[in-house]
Amino acid sequence: MESGWGFRNKGFSECHLAGILLPLSQCSFPMNLLRVAGEADLDIGFAPVWILAVGVDVNSGCQLVAVRACGLDEQRRKRWLGEGAYGKASATSAPKNRCMNAKERFRWAEEIEAHLFGHILPYWTGPAVDRRGGGFHGWLSNEGKPDPTQPRGLVLYSRLLWTFSAAHELRPDAEYHSLADRAGGWLLSRFWDSQYKGGFWHVDASGRVTNDSKQIYGQAFGVYAWVQYHLAFGSSDALDRARQWYESVDQHAHDARFGGYGEAYARDWSTPAVSLVGGQEFGAVKSMNTHLHLLEAWSLLYRAWPDPGLSRRLRELLALFWEKVLDPTGAMLHHYFSADWRVLSSTYTYGHNIEAAWLFCEAADALGDPFWQDRARSLAIRMSDVVLEEAVGSDGGVAYEGRAGRVIAAFRDWWVQAEALVGFLNAWQISGKERYTRAARRVWQFIRDRVADPVHGDWFWRVEPDGQPDRSRPKVSEWKCPYHSSRACLEAIRRLRAGPLS
C-alpha cells in the first residue's frame, strides 16, 4: 500500500505545522479546504485522510491544507494530491472561484475605505456638526434641514464618539480627534449624571436634560464609546470613565437571580422605568437588543481591561444567548422576554441575527476561550446561512424582519445592510467558503448603488423593495448615526486585509 501527500497548487511557500496528525473526522478544518480538485472529484471516503499542515499561498492568498492519504495508487495520488510535498501543478488545477486572491481582497478593501472616508464621514464632519449651537444636530432631514425641537440622544452622541475615535485609529486625523472630543465633551457635560452615575437618555439642543431615565441600551454605548476613545488616543481617563460606567450598570441593573440585566431605571436607579427600545406591548422587561450591545461593549472593555469579574459577566451573557435567546433551531434570536427569560415575541430581525453572528465571535475572541470560540464560529456559520437563504433578495439587499421561516417586512434598512456585509465576511473568514464573499459583494453592491445617497452624502435610512429610497426619513436622529455604516466599513477593511482565519 502506497502513501502520498502533497498540494495541487502553485506558489505554496509558507507552511505552519499543525503539530499533530488528526483523522479528518476529528479535525476542525472546514471541508472546503480539502477540495484540491473539487468536491465531485475528491471522495474522501476512499481512504484515511490526515491533516499534516496548514498555510497560506502567498501568491493567491488562499488557505491551503496539506494531507496524507493512504491507499492511493500512483495515478489517483497525482490526480488528487499533485506531485511531491508542494506538488508541481498546472495553473488550472484548483477549481474556479474557489478562493478570492489577495490582490482582489486588497482592492476591495481600498474601495470600501474610499467610500468610508470620501462619502460617509464627510457628512458627519460637515452638515451633522452644529456650528452655531455646539455639539451635533439631533435631527436632520434627508435633505439636511435641522429640527431643533427634536431631542439629542445618548445613543447618537456615544456612537459619534465611537465613530470618530475608530476612524482616527485607522487613519489618524486631527479633525477626527477634534470631533471625537466634541462628542465626548457633550457626554461629559450634558449627558453624564455626576450625582447618580450613568447617562441621561435625552437632552435638548441647549444641553438641558429632558429625559433622565437610565436606559441600559444607552449605557452600553457610553461604555463602548469611551473604550474606543482610549484605544485610539491612549487616554487613561477615558478608560476610567468606561470602567466607572460599567460598574454603575453592573451594580444597579444586573439581575443576580435570573441573569442578564434590566432594561431601564429611574435616574437614581431605585425603580424600573419604561424601556424606550421596544417590548412594552409584550410587557417585556428584558430584550435581545440591549443584551447584544451589552455583550459588544463588555467585549471591547475586556480587551482594554481584562478584569475577572468582567470575564464572568461576558461568559454569563454568552451562556444566556445560547440557552435563552436563541430559538430552537439555533439560527435566530428571540426579541423580548420576561424577567425569568420566558419568550414573549414571535418575530426576528435579520440584521440582529447577522450582527450577533459576528459579535459572538468577537466576544469569544476577547475572552480567548477555545470552547466559546468553537461554539461562536459554528453558530456564526449557521446564522449566516439562514440569513443568506431567507433574507437576501435578488437585488442583494437584505430584508428587515421574518417569522417562521419567511420574510414579513421586506424593506431594506441601512443598518441591516451594514451588519450583513460584516457578518458574511466573518463567515468567509471562518469557513473559507466563497459563497459568503459572493453574498458580501452583493450586499456591498446594493449599498453602493441603492443605499448610499449620491446627492447629500451618507446613506439613506431605508430602501423600499422596489429599490427606491424613503426620503421622508431623517439622515440624522437619535437612532440614525454613522455607527453601523462606519463600523461595517472598518470591519470589512480589516477582515479583507487579514484574510481567512488559519
Q: What is the DSSP string of 151-213?
A: PEEHHHHHHHHHHHHHHHHHS--HHHHHHHHHHHHHIIIIIB-TTT-SB-SEE-TTS-EEE--
Cell of 152: 439629542
pLDDT of residue 459 exceeding 50, the answer is: yes
3 state DSSP class of 15: strand
Burial 63-84 (b: 16+ CB within 10 A, else e): bbbbbbbeebeeeebbbbbbee
Q: Find, among 488, 391, 384, the residue nearest to 436 by Cα.
A: 384
pLDDT of residue 122 exceeding 70, the answer is: yes
Q: What is the pTM of this model?
A: 0.82
Q: Is 186 exposed, middle or buried (0-12, 13-18, 19+ CB in 10 A)?
A: buried
Cell of 225: 464609546
* Domains delineated in the chain: 3-81 (no CATH), 102-274+287-498 (1.50.10.10)
Question: What pLDDT is attached to residue 222?
Answer: 98
First to last CA, the chain: 32
pLDDT digits (tens, 9 = 90+) for 170-219: 999 999 999 999 999 999 999 999 999 999 999 999 999 999 999 999 99
d(CA 447, CA 419): 11
For the segment 385-398, the average pLDDT, to the nearest whole number, is 98
pLDDT of residue 426 exceeding 90, the answer is: yes
Please name the residue that has the C-alpha cell 468577537: 362
pLDDT of residue 18 exceeding 70, the answer is: no
Cell of 198: 450613568
For the segment 387-401, the average pLDDT, to the nearest whole number, is 98
pLDDT digits (tens, 9 = 90+) for 270-313: 999 999 999 989 999 999 999 999 999 999 999 999 999 999 99
Question: What pLDDT is attached to residue 55?
Answer: 41
Specify the DSSP class assigned to residue 215: E
d(CA 123, CA 127): 6
pLDDT digits (tens, 9 = 90+) for 134-147: 999 999 999 999 99
Angle between helices 174-186 and 154-170 (to 10 degrees): 160
According to DSSP H, which parts of 321-369 are helical? 350-367
Q: Find, among 381, 336, 374, the residue nearest to 358 by Cα.
A: 381
Question: What pLDDT is attached to residue 10?
Answer: 29
**In 10 A of CB 356, how many CB atoms?**
28
The answer to whether 247 and 301 have CB atoms below 8 angstroms apart is: no
The answer to whether 382 and 360 have CB atoms below 8 angstroms apart is: no
Question: What pLDDT is attached to residue 130?
Answer: 98
Question: What pLDDT is attached to residue 354?
Answer: 98
Question: What pLDDT is attached to residue 100?
Answer: 83
Q: Find, among 358, 420, 422, 429, the residue nearest to 395 by Cα.
A: 420
pLDDT of residue 164 exceeding 70, the answer is: yes
Q: What is the mean pLDDT of the chain?
A: 85
The answer to whether 420 and 354 have CB atoms below 8 angstroms apart is: yes
pLDDT digits (tens, 9 = 90+) for 24-72: 333 333 333 333 323 222 333 323 333 333 443 334 444 444 444 333 3
Q: Is 103 exposed, middle or buried (0-12, 13-18, 19+ CB in 10 A)?
A: exposed
Cell of 227: 473604550
The answer to whether 434 and 441 have CB atoms below 8 angstroms apart is: no
